[in-house]
């Protein structure tokens, strides 16, 4: 694993709530409420949560699409939220994004050549021939035919458009790509092709991914380290094995229990476990949230495993994890 490439410190993204005759700010929607994690070179870091958890807002804030309310985005030792335009230019070149909806992220009136060339034109000064050669090279990298440059987005399937989206993202030779639900709109067979292809690109160019998804099965296939997000905060953070084998927070257990069970023989047991977890989640809300309904701050269970529980809950979680590891 390479050295740390980006560190997110106490990241906040708040949206004001206005009311009254004077339309004054009376409160805030805390879409992202104090998030902390870091990503290393060449790593795939999974950020998981349901719709509305704040995961996509986190990704958009990192790439600069959403305005940051507070906290720091440290890239190679520089706080990007306070950096000069010149340093932000370098950052914008090194950090790119793959969007969930490949069709809406592309201008339907532009040919693929112009869509892929757009980031190149923003950051490099190439001749027309050099630019076309670069676009052809990128299309070749993502396994698309050379005549694709003359076509428009609607002429391709969802999987092909997502490949084109990857080509656009890697056009500037980025160090980090924010992949926001990159396969959620694709069927399973195409999902596997795109995911394997993304892994190939990562190994070839040593790109780090922040892989954002609600699907723990997909994230398990892609990521080495995971963060589970709920109500704008992280509820659990750790290595892939720690999270999948020894989940501590009820929300993590809830997400894991929602993964479909392929083995017919275990379906009834899986259904019973899911019902048990759901009952525990609904019946013991006060255990998992503070008086304001907010997620507790993360606390260390082991050096590679942090969980959002109150002090007494953390002590119980540590003992529970030790017992589970001994039984394994």
Q: Do 244 and 288 reside in the same domain of the chain?
A: yes
Rounded CA-CA distance 52/233 in Å is: 11
Residue 277 CA to residue 274 CA, distance in Å, equals: 5
- Does residue 73 form part of some domain? no
- From residue 103, give the alpha-carbon distance in Å to each of 30, 109, 115, 154: 29, 12, 12, 8
pLDDT of residue 29: 93
pLDDT of residue 315: 65
| Distance between CA atoms of residues 142 and 146, nearest Å | 11
For residues 139 and 197, the answer to whether their CB atoms sit within 8 Å is no
Looking at the predicted structure, is the pLDDT value of residue 214 above 70? Answer: yes
CA distance to 35, 38, 60, 73, per residue, from 69 (Å): 12, 19, 13, 12
Give the number of other CB atoms < 10 A from CB of residue 261.
15
In this structure, the answer to whether residues 90 and 225 fall within a common structural domain is yes
Most confident range, picked from 29-38, 121-130, 178-187, 243-252? 29-38
268 within a domain of the structure (yes/no): yes
| Sequence-distant (≥ 6) Cβ neighbours of residue 185 within 8 angstroms | 100, 101, 102, 158
More reliable by pLDDT, 156 or 269: 156
Of 179, 198, 230, the domain-final residue: 230
Out of 50-64, 132-146, 218-232, 277-291, least confident range = 277-291
The verdict on residue 225 lying in a domain is yes
Q: Are 245 and 205 contained in the same domain?
A: no
- Give yes or no: residues 90 and 217 share one domain: yes
Residues 135 and 222 in one domain: yes
Sign of CA dihedral 249, 214, 72, 231: negative
- Choice among 115-119, 156-160, 242-246, 315-319 with the minimum mean pLDDT: 315-319
* Residue 137 exposed, middle or buried by CB count within 10 Å (0-12, 13-18, 19+): exposed
Crossing angle of the two packed helices 188-205 and 158-169, in degrees rounded to 10: 20
Q: Rounded to whole angstroms, how far apart are CA atoms 112 and 165? A: 10
Question: 22 lies in a domain?
Answer: no
Q: Do both 277 and 300 map to the same domain? A: yes
Q: Which of 32-36, 156-160, 311-315 has the lowest mean pLDDT?
A: 311-315
Continuous H helices in 64-187: 85-94, 112-123, 128-141, 158-169
Closest among 304, 306, 232, 226 to 45, alpha carbons compared:
226
Which residues face 37 on adjacent strands?
A: 8
CB atoms inside a 10 Å sphere around CB 68: 17
User: Which residues are CB-contacts of 57 (< 8 A; sequence separation ≥ 6)?
Assistant: 13, 31, 32, 66
**134-143 tens-digit pLDDT:** 999 999 988 8
Does the pLDDT at position 321 exceed 70?
A: no
Asked if 149 contacts 112 with a C-beta cutoff of 8 angstroms, the reply is: yes
- In the chain, the percentage of residues whose pLDDT exceeds 70 is 93
Do 107 and 243 belong together in one domain? no
Query: Mean of the pLDDT values across residues 17-33?
Result: 91
Q: How many domains does the chain have?
A: 2
Q: Is residue 322 part of a domain?
A: yes
Residue whose token pair is 């000069």:
84
The mean pLDDT value for 116-139 works out to 91
Residue 247: how many CB atoms within 10 A of its CB? 24
Count CA atoms within 13 Å of residue 16 on its CB side: 8
Confidence of residue 83 (pLDDT cuts 50, 70, 90): confident
Residue pair 41/5 in contact (Cβ under 8 Å)? The answer is yes
Nearest-5° Cα angle at 245, 242 to 247: 75
Q: What integer best gives the mean pLDDT of the chain?
A: 88
Pairing between β-strand 233-239 and β-strand 299-302 as defined by DSSP bridges: unpaired
For residue 129, being part of any structural domain is answered with: yes
Q: How far is CA 113 from the centre of its chain?
A: 28
Residue 319 banded pLDDT, cuts 50, 70, 90: low
Q: Verify that 166 and 292 share a domain, yes or no.
A: no
Task: Assign residue 101 the CATH number of its domain.
Answer: 3.40.50.300
Same domain, 92 and 125: yes
Q: Which domain holds residue 326?
A: 238-328
Q: In this model, does residue 324 exceed pLDDT 90?
A: no
Determine, yes or no, domain membership for 21: no
């Amino acid at each position: 694993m390479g050295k740390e490439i980006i560190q997110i410190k106490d990241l906040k993204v708040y949206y004001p709530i206005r009311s009254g005759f004077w339309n004054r700010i009376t409160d805030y929607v805390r879409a992202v409420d104090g998030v902390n994690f870091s990503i290393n070179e060449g790593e795939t870091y999974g950020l998981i949560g349901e719709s509305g958890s704040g995961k996509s807002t986190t990704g958009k804030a990192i790439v600069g699409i959403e305005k940051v309310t507070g906290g720091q985005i440290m890239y190679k030792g520089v706080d990007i939220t306070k950096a000069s335009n010149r340093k932000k230019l370098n950052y914008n070149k090194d950090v790119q994004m793959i969007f969930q909806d490949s069709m809406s992220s592309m201008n339907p009136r532009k040919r693929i050549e112009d869509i892929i060339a757009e980031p190149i034109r923003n950051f490099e000064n190439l001749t027309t021939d050099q630019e076309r050669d670069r676009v052809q090279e990128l299309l070749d990298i993502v396994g698309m035919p050379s005549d694709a440059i003359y076509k428009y987005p609607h002429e391709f399937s969802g999987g092909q458009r997502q490949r084109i989206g990857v080509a656009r993202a890697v056009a500037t030779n980025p160090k980090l790509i924010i992949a926001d639900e990159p396969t959620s709109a694709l069927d399973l067979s195409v999902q596997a092709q795109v995911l394997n292809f993304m892994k190939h690109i990562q190994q070839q160019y040593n790109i780090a991914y922040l892989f954002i998804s609600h699907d723990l099965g997909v994230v398990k296939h892609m990521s080495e380290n995971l963060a589970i997000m709920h109500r704008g905060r992280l509820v659990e953070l750790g290595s892939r094995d720690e999270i999948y084998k020894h989940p501590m927070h009820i929300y993590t257990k809830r997400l894991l229990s929602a993964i479909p069970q392929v083995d017919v023989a275990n379906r009834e047991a899986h259904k019973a476990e899911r019902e048990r977890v759901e009952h525990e989640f609904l019946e013991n809300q006060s255990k998992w949230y503070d008086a304001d309904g907010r997620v507790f701050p993360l606390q260390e269970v082991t050096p590679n495993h942090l969980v959002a529980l109150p002090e007494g809950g953390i002590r119980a979680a540590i003992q529970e994890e030790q017992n589970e590891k001994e039984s394994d």
